[in-house]
Amino acid sequence: MLNLLKNRFGFDRFRPLQEEIISQALLGKDAFVLMPTGGGKSLCYQLPALKMPGMTLVVSPLIALMKDQVDALKANGIPAAFINSTLSPAEIDRTQTEARTGELKILYAAPERLANPGFQNFLSELKISLIAIDEAHCISEWGHDFRPDYRNLKILRNIFPGVPVMALTATATEKVREDIIRQLSLGQAKVFISSFNRPNLSYAVLPKKDSYDQLIGILQAHKNESVIIYCFSRKNTENLAADLREEGFSALAYHAGLESGKRKKNQEKFIRDEARIIVATIAFGMGIDKPDVRLVVHYNLPKSIEGYYQETGRAGRDGLPSRCVLFYSFGDTIKQQFFIRQIEEERERDNAYKKLNQMVEYCELSACRRRHLLSYFGEEYESEKCGGCDVCLSPKVEFDATVISQKIISAIVRTGERFGASYIIDVLTGAKNKKISERGHQKLSVFGIADDFSKVELRNIIGQLVSKKLIAKMGDEYPVLGLGERGKEFLKNRENILLSKPESGAEAIRKRTAFEVDYDRELFDQLRLLRKKIADEKGVPPFVVFGDLALTQMASYLPQSEESFSKISGVGEEKLKQYGKIFTEVIRTYAKENNLEEKNIPAGKPATARRAIRAGSTYEETKKLVQQKMSIEKMAKARGMTPGTITSHIEKLTSAGEEININYLRPPAKKMEKIARAFQKSGGSALSPVREILGDEFSYEELRVARMFLKS
Ligand code: ADP
Ligand code: ZN
């Protein structure tokens, strides 16, 4: 199986549970697979499909995704096809013939086909060895994405008695899980549940203040990377996309109200790396499976933790470090409540309030966010801190909150434990509003006694007191604050209490360096261009050629022979044959140009996420000299290195986000202009073409230094 994994898919090791699930299928037994997005579900049926005698039938509701999956399989030399409404009758005919003659190993089909007797007939003629049901939660009305067509799947059990069924999903609560098992008669199935932790994702919640400027800052740090921004309404998405375009970002809107051709085009551009940013309502995402989304922003508050986790799950499917940022304001909560109030059915409305409150709780958390998310899905995270969320990354400063806590609790008690946080905060800060004066609360001793705290701070402190059970939050629609289990004792015993100082998470995210990966960004960019060119020629999305992980490894180990290239993750026999030569050629040229050598690729070891610049490292030494404003020549002499090496250190330092001032190295304006024009003309950021344009007038080092300024 490992051979098959390497030769056909180019991978060295199985991800957790994959091997067990595959074995189950090969034994001819049913399986129920619950794995987070990006966990590697597809491989669980694609690999056994190659080993089993007949064909594997895959049912998926995601029509747009089918083509990508099939393209990806074909790129690995695996005979696969799909049948859905995007094909012409002639194309369907051709595919059916291929299936009948046994040419195909994997066939994808949309669920609505199964209702068609003609299609059922066609299926019954086939030798099917395995049936995979992707997005299995769509069969359940209890899920968040019910598709009536999925009810057709029951027919498959009748047409193919005894053929093993594998149901796969990334989202299923206990209830939905039971429903899937019942409806697909999976009572005998072995259940595989993998951890929902996504270690390569970092989470942050930022207060929604100057959010637009903050967003721009974050996007600049993710230049050239794929980003999804989720907004509340269609109008929001269009306005934000237009604003971002004005700032020079390639951003497109996506929502269900767009004319379908336009929607498809925008999605396609995103998948093909032609638009970097998609600004979307939650309608976006189901139909795409882009593995290299590096950042997911929630510009408005999501409606539920399930939804939020699924949307953030679209980041970093390829396992590389990626970020999830949510902008939170209380105003958004109010907006959501307004919409929930319009829901007529009572049960549904209550449920919506509950989900929203859970979301708010997550945003106001002062403990590890990952831990909280996982516990929401019934999983216990192994430690208190994850080191990958804003709470864990920004060391909290504690302060003596005894007095302010007493004040807050008194205000709750004095007003009769009948009001929500907003009202209590108004009382504490001495707000002059009608509601307060009508009730005479401006006469209470607690009125205006906390005006040394801002509303945002008070809300944060209340959140902490709730999680410490000094305050209780009751009711869903209009949560009311009351004395918590531990509140009475606290008041009676006059205990002291320490809380973490409310601060903005913006700092935390700016400081964030823990998720950098060690590779040559310049070479990565060149390989990315090459990938894009090939993808366009073949009419497939770039990630079908190679994923970012493969490019990252290439840009990290610089493989130049066929043998070492084949060790890169994602390089199987077919891709080695197709792309080995052209990719190693680019790597060889680059290595020569920059005086770099190939590095040993540890078998089966991916480039790991780690801090790019370590204290005491060689880069750190160069950094010290930069701080003394030395020229490149002087630094080279002082360190006994070539100017080229020193320049590459500086590039590394700046691209790793180190705060160093290199302005003193900026070439004079005239030179700068000339070089800039040459880069523009070359259409890329590679040095050789620029040197060709400019001739010998500039050295490679000068060009590289200039390039740093062009980038920032
Ligand atoms: P899911 O369907 O669970 O969201 P996918 O099947 O799309 O996940 O897989 C996510 C990514 O992980 C894909 O890019 C896939 O090629 C990659 N992948 C899957 N299995 C492995 C493995 N064993 N080693 C390395 N990469 C893998
Ligand atoms: Zn954490």
- SS3 of 352-374: the string is HHHHHHHHHHHHCCCCCHHHHHH
- Give a three-class secondary structure readout of 589-656: HHHHHCCCCCCCCCCCCCCCECCCCCCCCHHHHHHHHHHCCCCHHHHHHHHCCCHHHHHHHHHHHHHC
Q: Is there a domain that residue 185 lies in? A: yes
The residue contributing the CA closest to ligand 1 atom 15 is 40
| 339 shares its domain with 443 | no
More reliable by pLDDT, 48 or 383? 48
Do the strands 398-400 and 226-230 form a parallel or antiparallel pair, or are they unpaired? unpaired
Confidence class of residue 474 from pLDDT cuts 50, 70 and 90? confident
- Of the CA atoms within 13 Å of residue 651, those in its CB half-sphere come to 23
Average pLDDT value for residue range 11-20? 88
State if residue 606 touches ligand 1 by the CB under 6 angstroms criterion. no
Asked, for residue 622, whether it belongs to a domain, the answer is no
pLDDT at 133: 96
Is 34 found in the same domain as 174?
Answer: yes
The ligand that comes nearest to the alpha carbon of residue 571 is 1
The residue that leads in pLDDT, 613 or 640, is: 640
Cα 390 to middle of ligand 2, angstroms: 7
Same domain, 454 and 569: no
- Same-domain check for residues 336 and 423: no
Q: What's the confidence (pLDDT) of residue 515?
A: 39
Say if residues 10 and 568 touch (Cβ distance below 8 Å): yes
Lookup: tokens for 503: 């601060």
Provide the CATH number for the domain around residue 561.
1.10.150.80
Whole-angstrom distance, CA of residue 600 vs CA of residue 506? 39
Ligand 1 atom closest to residue 12's alpha carbon, by position in its atom list:
24
Q: How confident is the model at residue 603 (pLDDT cuts 50, 70, 90)?
A: low
pLDDT at 687: 76
CATH number for position 258: 3.40.50.300
Cβ distance 168 to 136 under 8 Å?
yes
Q: Which of 274-283, 483-492, 502-511, 521-530 has the lowest mean pLDDT?
A: 502-511
Is residue 358, in this structure, part of any structural domain at all?
yes
CA 192 to mean position of chain CA atoms: 23
Tokens of 266: 């925008």
On whether both 242 and 306 belong to a single domain, the answer is yes
SS3 406: helix
- Other Cβ atoms within 10 Å of 663 Cβ, number: 8
What backbone torsions phi and psi does residue 289 show, to the nearest 5 degrees? -140, 50
Which range of residues forms the domain containing residue 437? 398-501
Whether the CB of 505 sits within 6 Å of ligand 1: no
- 40 and 100 in a single domain? The answer is yes
Nearest Cα residue to atom 18 of ligand 1: 40
pLDDT greater than 80 at residue 406: yes
- For residue 41, being part of any structural domain is answered with yes
Q: Is 41 in the pocket of ligand 1 (CB under 6 A)?
A: yes
Q: What is the pTM of this model?
A: 0.64
pLDDT grade, residue 605 (50/70/90)? very low
Q: How many CB atoms are located within 10 Å of the residue 526 CB?
A: 23
Cα–ligand 1 centroid distance for 537 (angstroms) = 25
Give, for 260, the enclosing helix (H) or strand (E). helix 260-271
What does the alpha-carbon distance between residue 704 and residue 701 come to, in Å, rounded to a whole number? 5
Phi, psi for residue 462 in degrees, rounded to 5: -60, -40
Q: How many Å lie between the centroid of ligand 1 and the Cα of residue 351?
A: 34
Task: Compute the distance from residue 330 Cα to the ligand 1 centre, in Å.
Answer: 37
Atom of ligand 1 minimally distant from the CA of 569: 25
- Among 7, 8, 15, say which to mutate for ligand 1: greatest number of ligand atoms within 8 Å of CB: 15
- Provide the pLDDT confidence category of residue 144 given band limits of 50, 70 and 90: low
* Ligand 1 centroid from CA 10, angstroms: 11
Token pair belonging to 94: 């051709």
The encoded tokens of residue 595 equal 């005086």
- How far apart CA 487 and CA 500 sit, in angstroms, is 18
Do 469 and 434 sit in the same domain of this protein?
yes
Residue 458, pLDDT > 50, answer: yes
Ligand 1 pocket residue status of 572, Cβ below 6 Å: no
Phi, psi of 473, deg, nearest 5: -115, 120
Closest ligand 1 atom to the C-alpha of 9? 16
Confidence at residue 134, expressed as pLDDT on a 0 to 100 scale: 93
**With a 6 A CB cut-off, is 196 part of the ligand 1 pocket?**
no
Q: How far is the CA of 20 from the centre of ligand 2 (A)?
A: 30
3-state secondary structure 130-195: EEEECCHHHHCCCCCCCCHHHHHHHHHHHHCCCCCEEEEECCCCHHHHHHHHHHCCCCCCEEEECC
Residue of the nearest CA to atom 25 in ligand 1? Answer: 11
Q: How many Cα atoms are found within 13 Å in the side-chain-facing hemisphere of 596?
A: 26
* Ligand 1 closest atom vs CA 18: 23
Q: Tell me how far apart the alpha carbons of residues 284 and 315 are, in angstroms, rounded to a whole number.
A: 13
Rg for the chain, CA atoms, rounded: 28
- Range in 280-284, 390-394, 569-573, 612-616 with the lowest mean pLDDT: 612-616
| Most confident residue range from 45-49, 646-650, 672-676 | 45-49
pLDDT of residue 103: 93
Split at pLDDT 50, 70, 90, the class of 560 is: very high
pLDDT of residue 509: 46
Same domain, yes or no, for 494 and 519? no
Nearest residue to 167 (alpha-carbon basis) of 191, 145, 149, 146: 191
Q: Which residues lie below 8 Å from residue 109, measured CB to CB, with a gap of 6+?
A: 57, 58, 59, 60, 82, 83, 84, 119
Whether residue 166 is found in the same domain as residue 219? no
What pLDDT sits at residue 684?
Answer: 65
43 lines ligand 1 (CB under 6 A): yes
Instruction: Flag the least confident range among 117-121, 151-155, 375-379.
Output: 375-379
**Which residues, chain by chain, have CB under 5 Å from ion ligand 2?**
368, 370, 386, 389, 392
Q: Is the pLDDT reported for residue 296 higher than 60?
A: yes
609 Cα: distance to centroid of ligand 2 (angstroms): 17
State which ligand 1 atom lies nearest to the alpha carbon of 291.
Answer: 14
Residues 273 and 300 in one domain: yes
- Given 468, 501, 534, the domain boundary residue is 501
374 and 450 co-located in one domain: no
- Above 50 in pLDDT, residue 610? no
Domains identified in the chain, total number: 4
Instruction: Give the mutation target among 2, 13, 43 for probing the ligand 1 site: most ligand atoms within 8 A of CB.
Output: 43
Q: How far is the CA of 325 from the centre of ligand 1 (A)?
A: 23
What is the rounded distance in angstroms from the CA atom of residue 161 to the CA atom of residue 141? Answer: 25
% pLDDT > 90, the chain: 44
CA-nearest of 297, 352, 351 to 325 is 297
Residue 541 within any structural domain of the chain: yes
> Does ligand 1 have an atom closer than 6 angstroms to the CB of 40?
yes
CA 211, chain centre distance (Å):
20
- The verdict on 467 and 437 lying in the same domain is yes
pLDDT of 324 strictly over 90: yes
- Which residue would you say has higher pLDDT here, 508 or 130? 130
In a mutational test of the pocket of ligand 1, which residue from 5, 6, 198, 317 has the highest number of ligand atoms less than 8 Å from its CB?
317
Q: Cα(299)–Cα(548) distance, rounded to whole angstroms?
A: 26
The ligand minimizing its distance to the Cα of 199 is 2
Q: Locate 611 and state its tokens.
A: 């801090």
Q: Is the CB of 316 under 6 A from ligand 1?
A: no
- The b-or-e profile of 271-285 (16+ CB within 10 A means b, else e) is bbbebbbbbbbbbbb
> Of the ligands numbered here, which is closest to the C-alpha atom of 548?
1
CA of 40 to the centre of ligand 1 (A): 3
Least confident of 6-20, 191-205, 606-620: 606-620
| Ligand 1 pocket member 171 (CB < 6 A) | no
Residue 172: is its pLDDT beyond 90?
no
Q: Report residue 513's pLDDT band, with 50, 70 and 90 as the boundaries.
A: very low
**318: Cβ below 6 Å to ligand 1?**
yes
To test the pocket of ligand 1, the residue of 2, 6, 9 to mutate (highest count of ligand atoms within 8 Å of its CB) is 9
Closest ligand to C-alpha of residue 132 is 1
**Long-range contacts (CB closer than 8 Å, 24 or more residues apart) made by 659-666:** 660/623, 660/626, 660/627, 661/626, 661/627, 662/626, 662/708, 664/629, 665/631, 665/632, 665/705, 666/705, 666/709
Cβ of 203 below 6 Å from ligand 1: no
**Residue 66 falls inside a structural domain:** yes
CB 19 near ligand 1, within 6 Å? no
Average pLDDT over residues 506-527: 63
Is the pLDDT assigned to residue 491 strictly greater than 80?
Answer: yes
H/E stretch holding 120 reads: helix 117-124
The rounded mean pLDDT for the chain is: 86
Q: Whose CA is nearest to atom 2 of ligand 1?
A: 41
Q: Which residues make Cβ contacts (< 8 Å) with residue 565, sequence separation at least 6?
A: 554, 559, 571, 576, 580, 583, 584
Ligand 1 centroid to Cα of residue 289, in Å, is 11
Query: How many CB atoms within 10 Å of residue 495?
Result: 13
By C-alpha distance, which of 215, 200, 223 is closest to 528?
223
pLDDT of residue 707: 82
**What's the rounded Cα separation, in Å, for the pair 107 and 80?**
6
What pLDDT is recorded for position 696?
A: 79
Distance CA 349, CA 476 (A): 10
Q: Is 310 in the pocket of ligand 1 (CB under 6 A)?
A: no
Out of 176, 193, 210, pick the residue that ends a domain.
193
* Residue 346 clears pLDDT 80, i.e. is over it: yes
- Assign 611 a pLDDT band (cuts: 50, 70, 90): very low
Report yes or no on 509 lying in a domain.
Answer: no
Residue 119 lies in a domain: yes
SS3 301: coil
Pick from 492, 469, 471, 496: nearest CA to 481: 471
Which residue, judged by its Cα, is nearest atom 23 of ligand 1?
14
Instruction: Round to whole Å and give the CA distance between 160 and 124.
Output: 8
**Domain termination residue (choose one: 378, 412, 429):** 378
Q: Is 42 in the pocket of ligand 1 (CB under 6 A)?
A: yes
